[in-house]
């Protein structure tokens, strides 16, 4: 491909695309730069199809490189990048959900788009140039793809919509919405909002869609100049592929002939009934193919697609008769079951079930030290609220190996986390680290939205003072090539067929908090988007009403098994006294009391413990270590050192004072050893803290002066060994 470069002004910054320079072995490659953030995109497709699969094998990978931001990995032992971070996984999913609908889903060639971050400027996030890069590289490649599509980010500053806000501007915005689309409409939306009204969110999405045209024209210009001729996979159909498509037509006709009897004759409310229906079609189609002596590999492909064949007629029934398979209206939510407080020893639990989708969410509260440390290309700092989505093969009534979370689980967890973030209490009011795990025990449509609802229930059950409850719902779509469409409230399994969408919206009674939308169409028009928000709000209110009948607000008291956090404010200059040399003192307190201690530079000390006795002991220890000694205070001290001129008394942990020999008693004392020995417990009073911070003590001032007492001439006050009085026990030289 020829080495060429194009550029345009986009939102006050330069967007540039270069081809023919890097990664020349790929089917196509390009470099996209926005500001000083640079993404390299490559696209490749296998020459041969994969037999025996019933899905389009597309892979979209976002490669996060720390060198792009001038960083070296923080781990002492591993310095190279390993498995993708959650941030990289979410970026890859965002691009995948944008480009996937514009492929022919009958393709069985392995196809891969790799997006590598080469430079990150800290101002322009990597997701938008990565999205542009993916759309550009697919457009100029020879890979069959029905683009053109583009995407951008929308924020709101001072009441006005802002295209592609900088990282700093995003912090000031109450919306963060990524919109991808084309001339036909919206294809993908990803959003986090601070309780924005439904109308405002629709307006923001529409604003984003309207700003895409210059970039669509830009990509079209590049494609016209250097784009490769698209491969026609249909022109080289071999005999097997020709037979497959002919057989599919016969199978489609068979499903159509049985649809009234097998699909719609009875209401199928449970997932088991719908699975049984699909199995009935599978068995009949298998017999038909066997009778026709169709090759086994073609039989395997067709039997893997039976659900898709059936979904086509379920969509048509909705469009023609407003009839859903489980008997619901288009606006109706499935039966709900809500419970809290299910487990005896956890800090909070919530069970949310909608139809056959069942999620148990569990809250664990921890100390401020339990927060997650972020060390990625774009993020640094900590995260105090974490939501993790967990499912197993049993969730879907299947078997299989148990592995770590996949991309889908990471994405669903992040969506539910984003949904709750706007209502979490401020750290100053509730300093706990919070982790919610949503155990998905049954999945049949929108388990991520059930996780959102379950998390709300569990947090309130745990006594976390969230500002408002949050609920979520997934909206579906039935549409055809003639432009007919119907929006479906509470999408489930067989309704998510060709021409559909999965439009998830979460929020409180007052506004939207998160959105995730992808579609199986070439784009949603604005009328569909507006209708989706209207129906979703009605469903959200109904779900919130149901949740409120079980728990309407956070509990006033936390579980007795949850840790307690108490705050002590100390002089910042005293922090080193609590920590001690090399952390010796703070580690000693933790070891002997069993607490966790977190200290920030302002002097705020947070003590976390499940044990009230250990908590009290640690607090007293810290308060003693940091106490500012003042004249007139009385202490029960311990004799730790004696000199001829006086005795050194330990009055607080790490802090000594001195009783001069003349202050031991009203009567003359020749030397301290005449009246005391090491280890004796002595009651003393603070006479003064001198200008050098040294503590002068007295014993005699705690007793009455004898009658007729005559003041003796003062003795010369000396300080042995250079004058330090605080050499004992790690003291500070007082």
Backbone conformation region of residue 195, classed left if phi is above 0, alpha if psi is from -120 to 50, else beta: left
What does each C-alpha distance from 455 to 343, 390, 413, 537 come to in angstroms?
Answer: 15, 13, 11, 19
Asked whether residue 17 is assigned to any structural domain, the reply reads yes
Sole residue written with tokens 């909608």: 354
pLDDT score for 715:
59
Average pLDDT (235-250) is: 77
Asked whether residue 365 is assigned to any structural domain, the reply reads yes
CATH of the domain at 8: 3.30.230.70
Residue-wise pLDDT tens digits, 502-539: 999 999 999 999 999 999 998 999 999 999 999 999 99
pLDDT score for 732:
37
307 and 212 in a common domain: no
Q: Cβ of 209: how many Cβ atoms within 10 Å?
A: 26
pLDDT score for 238:
65
Where do the DSSP E strands lie in 20-149? Answer: 28-34, 37-49, 58-63, 109-119
pLDDT at 399 > cutoff 80:
yes
How far, rounded to the nearest angstrom, does the alpha carbon of residue 207 sit from its chain's CA centroid?
27
Query: 573: helix, coil or strand?
Result: helix
Asked whether residue 413 is assigned to any structural domain, the reply reads yes
Distance spanning both ends of the chain, measured CA to CA: 77
Torsion angles phi and psi, residue 205, rounded to 5:
-65, -40
Asked whether residue 387 is assigned to any structural domain, the reply reads yes
Closest CA to 179 of 676, 650, 623, 526: 526
Tokens of 545: 């009403």
Question: In which band, very low, low, confident or very high, does the pLDDT at 716 lie, cut at 50, 70 and 90?
Answer: low
451 and 386 in a common domain: yes
Task: Measure the CA–CA gap between 142 and 230, rounded to whole angstroms.
Answer: 4
Asked whether residue 331 is assigned to any structural domain, the reply reads no
CATH of the domain at 706: 2.40.50.140
**Predicted TM-score of the model (pTM):** 0.86
Single residue among 288, 321, 354 that ends a domain in this structure: 321
Task: Measure the CA–CA gap between 606 and 56, rounded to whole angstroms.
Answer: 53
Asked whether residue 520 is assigned to any structural domain, the reply reads yes
Domain extent at residue 440: 336-550
401 and 536 in a common domain: yes
Residue-wise pLDDT tens digits, 635-680: 999 999 999 999 999 998 878 999 999 999 988 888 999 999 999 9
268 and 368 in a common domain: no
Tokens of 160: 């006005």
Asked whether residue 364 is assigned to any structural domain, the reply reads yes
Domain count of the fold of the chain:
5
DSSP assignments along 227-252, one per residue = PPPPP-TTTT--HHHHHHHHHHHHHH
Single residue among 253, 287, 321 that ends a domain in this structure: 321
Report whether 583 contacts 575 (CB < 8 A): no
Single residue among 321, 344, 366 that ends a domain in this structure: 321
Asked whether residue 326 is assigned to any structural domain, the reply reads no
Q: Say which range, 51-55, 79-83, 90-94, 583-587, has the weakest mean pLDDT.
A: 51-55
What does each C-alpha distance from 183 to 144, 161, 215, 223, 697 come to in angstroms?
Answer: 19, 21, 11, 16, 85
197 and 52 in a common domain: yes
Residue with the bigger pLDDT between 380 and 311: it is: 311
620 and 525 in a common domain: no
Residue-wise pLDDT tens digits, 68-101: 999 998 888 888 988 899 999 999 999 999 999 9
383 and 470 in a common domain: yes
111 and 174 in a common domain: yes
424 and 386 in a common domain: yes
Tokens of 339: 């419970």
Question: In which band, very low, low, confident or very high, does the pLDDT at 398 lie, cut at 50, 70 and 90?
Answer: confident
254 and 214 in a common domain: no
Average pLDDT (6-17) is: 95
617 and 638 in a common domain: no
341 and 463 in a common domain: yes
pLDDT score for 233:
74
């Amino acid at each position: 491909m020829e080495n060429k470069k194009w550029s345009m002004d986009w939102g006050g910054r330069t967007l540039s695309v270069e081809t023919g320079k890097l990664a020349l072995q790929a089917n196509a490659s390009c470099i996209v730069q926005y500001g000083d953030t640079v993404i390299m995109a490559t696209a490749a497709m296998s020459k041969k199809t994969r037999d025996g699969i019933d899905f389009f094998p597309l892979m979209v990978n976002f490669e996060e490189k720390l060198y792009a931001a001038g960083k070296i990995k923080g781990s002492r032992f591993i310095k190279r990048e390993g498995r993708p971070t959650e941030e990289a996984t979410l970026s890859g999913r965002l691009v995948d959900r944008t480009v996937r609908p514009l492929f022919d889903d009958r393709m069985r060639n392995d196809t891969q788009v790799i997006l590598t971050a080469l430079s990150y400027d800290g101002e322009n996030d990597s997701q938008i140039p990565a999205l542009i890069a993916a759309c550009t590289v697919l457009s100029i490649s020879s890979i069959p793809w029905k683009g053109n599509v583009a995407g951008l980010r929308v924020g709101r500053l001072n009441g006005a919509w802002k295209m592609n806000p900088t990282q700093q501007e995003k912090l000031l915005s109450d919306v963060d919405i990524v919109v991808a689309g084309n001339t036909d409409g919206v294809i993908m939306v990803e959003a986090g909002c601070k309780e924005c009204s439904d109308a405002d969110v629709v307006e923001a999405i529409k604003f984003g869609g309207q700003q895409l045209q210059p970039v669509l024209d830009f990509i079209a210009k590049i494609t016209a100049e250097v784009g490769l001729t698209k491969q026609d996979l249909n022109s080289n159909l071999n005999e097997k592929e020709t037979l497959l498509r002919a057989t599919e037509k016969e199978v489609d006709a068979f499903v159509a002939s049985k649809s009234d009897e097998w699909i719609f004759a009875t209401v199928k409310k449970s997932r088991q009934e719908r699975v049984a229906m699909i199995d009935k079609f599978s068995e009949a189609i298998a017999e038909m193919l066997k009778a026709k002596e169709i090759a086994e590999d073609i039989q395997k492909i067709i039997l893997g697609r039976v659900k898709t064949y059936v979904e086509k007629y379920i969509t048509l029934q909705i469009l023609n008769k407003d009839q859903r398979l489980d008997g619901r209206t288009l606006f109706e939510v499935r039966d709900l079951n809500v419970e809290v407080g299910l487990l005896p020893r956890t800090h909070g639990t919530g069970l949310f079930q909608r139809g056959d989708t069942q999620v148990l969410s569990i809250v664990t509260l921890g100390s401020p030290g339990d927060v997650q440390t972020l060390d990625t290309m774009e993020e640094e700092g900590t995260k105090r609220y974490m939501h993790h989505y967990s499912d197993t093969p049993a969730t879907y009534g299947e078997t299989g190996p148990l592995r770590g979370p996949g991309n889908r689980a990471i994405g669903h967890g992040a969506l539910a986390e984003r949904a709750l973030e706007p209502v979490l209490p401020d750290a100053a009011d509730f300093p706990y680290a919070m982790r919610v795990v949503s155990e998905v025990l049954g999945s049949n449509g929108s388990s991520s939205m059930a996780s959102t609802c379950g998390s709300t229930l569990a947090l309130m059950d745990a006594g976390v003072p969230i500002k408002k409850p949050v609920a979520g719902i997934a909206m579906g779509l039935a549409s055809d090539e003639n432009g007919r469409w119907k929006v479906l409230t509470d999408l489930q399994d067989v309704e998510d067929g060709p021409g559909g969408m999965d439009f998830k919206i979460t929020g409180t009674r007052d506004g939207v908090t998160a959105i995730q939308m992808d579609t199986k169409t070439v784009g949603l028009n604005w009328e569909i988007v507006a209708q989706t928000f209207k129906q979703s709000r009605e469903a959200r209110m109904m779900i919130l009403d149901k949740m409120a009948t079980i728990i309407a607000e956070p509990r006033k008291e936390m579980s007795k098994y949850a840790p307690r956090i108490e705050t002590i404010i100390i002089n910042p200059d005293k922090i080193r006294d609590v920590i001690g040399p090399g952390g010796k003192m703070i580690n000693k307190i933790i070891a002997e009391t069993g607490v966790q201690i977190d200290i920030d530079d302002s002097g705020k000390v947070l003590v976390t413990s499940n044990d009230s006795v250990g908590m009290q002991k640690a607090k007293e220890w810290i308060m003693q270590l940091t106490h500012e000694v003042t004249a007139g205070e009385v202490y029960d001290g311990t004799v730790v050192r004696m000199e001829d001129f006086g005795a050194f008394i330990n009055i607080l942990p790490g802090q000594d004072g001195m009783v001069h020999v003349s202050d031991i008693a009203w009567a003359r004392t020749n030397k301290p050893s005449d009246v005391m020995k090491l280890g004796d417990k002595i009651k003393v009073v603070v006479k003064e803290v001198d200008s050098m911070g040294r503590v002068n003590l007295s014993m005699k001032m705690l007793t009455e002066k004898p009658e007729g007492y005559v003041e003796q001439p003062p003795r010369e006050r000396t300080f042995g060994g250079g004058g330090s009085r605080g050499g004992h026990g790690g003291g500070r030289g007082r």
